[in-house]
């Protein structure tokens, strides 16, 4: 969690919780480092809130990129992002995604993730941080404080489209829509719920692997 989303003296983290049954139930909490005694205190408060909401049936998300330190509001928008420091490649199954994934579908997403990361490694990219998102795979590539502007958004959008075209399979593919600066992403260590859980399609915790 904290390797993906570094926390310093000026950090603002948004926790967004979406209920997996009642889609109208959304809880947003803002954690400003300057309002806590230390960054460790902020982290503890964030984890406590995430755990409590997760146990109540909410799926837990955080902003992919850093929020401006002077942010005022309930939910960050693209203009509120200071810069981009992560590229998300979101790999999920194709077709009906309203129910949890099967183990086989998760393995197919992991296999495609390996193919994508090997391809990018051959182009000189670093190794990504890998997360099993609960129903698929997230590859997080660290960026060097890329400006939050229109040209950066266009570049990331083209990158995702090119990868999606190259690596699409009948079973799994790359999400083309996760290019916006204020994108939220799943919090590792929380259970991700969608639809009805069954023995074949269980709810799973998002974890690094």
pLDDT for 68 equals 98
pLDDT at 96: 82
The helix/strand/coil state of 107 is helix
* Opening angle at CA 14, ends 98 and 64, nearest 5: 65
95 torsion bin: left (phi>0), alpha (psi -120 to 50), beta (else):
left
Q: Which three-class secondary structure state does DSSP give residue 39?
A: helix
pLDDT of residue 145: 83
Rounded distance between C-alpha atoms, residue 191 and residue 195, angstroms: 13
Please name every residue paired with 67 in a beta bridge, in sequence order, or none if there are none: 81
Residue 150 pLDDT: 98
**Looking at residue 97, what is its pLDDT?**
87
Nearest to 61 by CA among 94, 88, 97: 88
Which pTM value belongs to this model?
Answer: 0.96
pLDDT in tens, the chain (209 residues): 898 999 999 999 999 999 999 989 999 999 999 999 999 999 999 999 999 999 999 999 999 999 999 999 999 999 999 999 999 999 999 988 899 999 999 999 999 999 999 999 999 999 999 999 999 999 999 999 899 999 999 999 999 999 999 998 999 999 999 999 999 999 999 999 999 999 999 999 999 99
Distance CA 51, CA 64 (A): 19
Please report, for residues 58, 158, 184, 185, the alpha-carbon distance to residue 20 in angstroms, rounded to integers and kept in the order given.
6, 31, 16, 15
| Order of strands, sheet of 58-63, starting from the edge strand that comes earlier in the sequence | 26-32, 12-19, 58-63, 184-186
């Amino acid at each position: 969690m904290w390797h993906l989303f570094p926390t310093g003296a000026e950090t603002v983290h948004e926790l967004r919780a979406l209920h997996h049954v009642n889609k109208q139930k959304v809880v947003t909490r803002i954690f400003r480092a300057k309002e806590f005694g230390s960054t460790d205190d902020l982290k503890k408060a964030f984890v406590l809130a995430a755990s409590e909401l997760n146990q109540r049936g909410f799926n837990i998300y955080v902003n992919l990129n850093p929020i401006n330190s002077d942010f005022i509001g309930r939910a960050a928008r693209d203009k509120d992002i200071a810069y981009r420091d992560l590229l998300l490649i979101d790999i999920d199954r194709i077709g009906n995604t309203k129910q949890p994934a099967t183990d086989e579908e998760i393995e197919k997403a992991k296999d495609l993730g390996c193919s994508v990361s090997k391809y990018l490694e051959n182009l000189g990219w670093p190794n990504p941080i890998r997360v099993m998102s609960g129903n698929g795979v997230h590859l997080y590539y660290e960026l060097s404080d890329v400006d939050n502007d229109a040209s950066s958004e266009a570049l990331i959008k083209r990158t995702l489209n090119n990868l999606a075209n190259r690596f699409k399979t009948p079973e799994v593919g790359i999400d083309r829509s996760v290019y916006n600066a204020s994108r939220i992403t799943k919090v590792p260590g929380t259970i991700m719920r969608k639809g009805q859980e069954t023995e074949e399609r269980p709810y799973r915790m998002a974890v690094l692997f």
